[in-house]
Structure 1
Amino acid sequence: MFELKTIALFIVTAIAEIVGCYLPYLWLRQSASVWLLIPAAFSLALFAWLLTLHPEASGRVYAAYGGVYVSAALVWLWAVDGIKPSVWDAAGVACTLLGMAIIMFAPRHA
């Protein structure tokens, strides 16, 4: 089963990935400073390192991370971009998390 520690690791990993991609976006599309590429590179390196801390590198673990990533991306949309997610966004997150839960917690035959 998942522990709170694992879920927290997923959340921190997702934030590192989002920040690492968002900062170059600001530079390329919003005319922000090129200096944003330095923290972006640091954030993406942190993201790669955090991936090594996950319980195992398997499809099921990545499915769980994907569900957390989608959720974090919509929180980012609201908190950073100031765009309130729609009911459809919330439904999409719910479907993603439900799919992740089915993959992670389905009965397994040894």
Structure 2
Amino acid sequence: MIKTYALYAFAALAEIAGCFAFFAWFRLGKTVWWLAPGLVSLVLFAYALALVPSEAAGRTYAAYGAIYILASILWLWIVEAKFPDRWDIAGVVICLIGGAVILFGPRSA
């Protein structure tokens, strides 16, 4: 279980960093060289998500979505220095509950 959370956290960080590198190049006027680490980061994201133990890729990606949303709001706060408002926090909580239902809900055989 800890391995799953660690993989999700690593995947989220790698995905956000990779996407931010593209955003920085495209929207913030950074050099094209920002794309190189961004692409490496996105490859690491895909690799980490593929390592998550699950019998269904769709379920893995759906549960990961909640972790990604949490990581995005943390990125907003820590990297972009914009404090999340109550709606950001409420949305994260709702998504984490939904991710937990997907990940831990009882399954019929």
Secondary structure at 2:3 match in 1: helix
TM-score, L = length of structure 2: 0.92
Q: After superposition, give the CA deviation of every residue in 1:37-96 in whole Å (9 maximum; x if it has no partner).
A: 110111111112212211134222222211110000000000001110001000000000
Residue 57 of structure 2: aligned partner: 58
Identity of aligned residues (%): 48
Residue 13 of structure 2: aligned partner: 15
| Shift, 1:107, TM fit | 2.2
**Aligned-partner Cα distance in 2 for 1:29–1:109:** 47
Residue 75 of structure 2: aligned partner: 76
* Aligned residue pairs, count: 108
Q: List aligned pairs for 1:33-52, cutoff 5 A.
A: 33-52=31-50
Output the amino acid matched with 2:17: V
Aligned with 1:28 (options 26, 30, 35): 26
Secondary structure at 1:7 match in 2: helix
Residue 84 of structure 2: aligned partner: 85
Q: After superposition, give the CA deviation of every residue in 1:3-60 in whole Å (9 maximum; x if it has no partner).
A: 1111011000011111110011011111111110110111111112212211134222
Residue 106 of structure 1: aligned partner: 105
TM-score, L = length of structure 1: 0.91
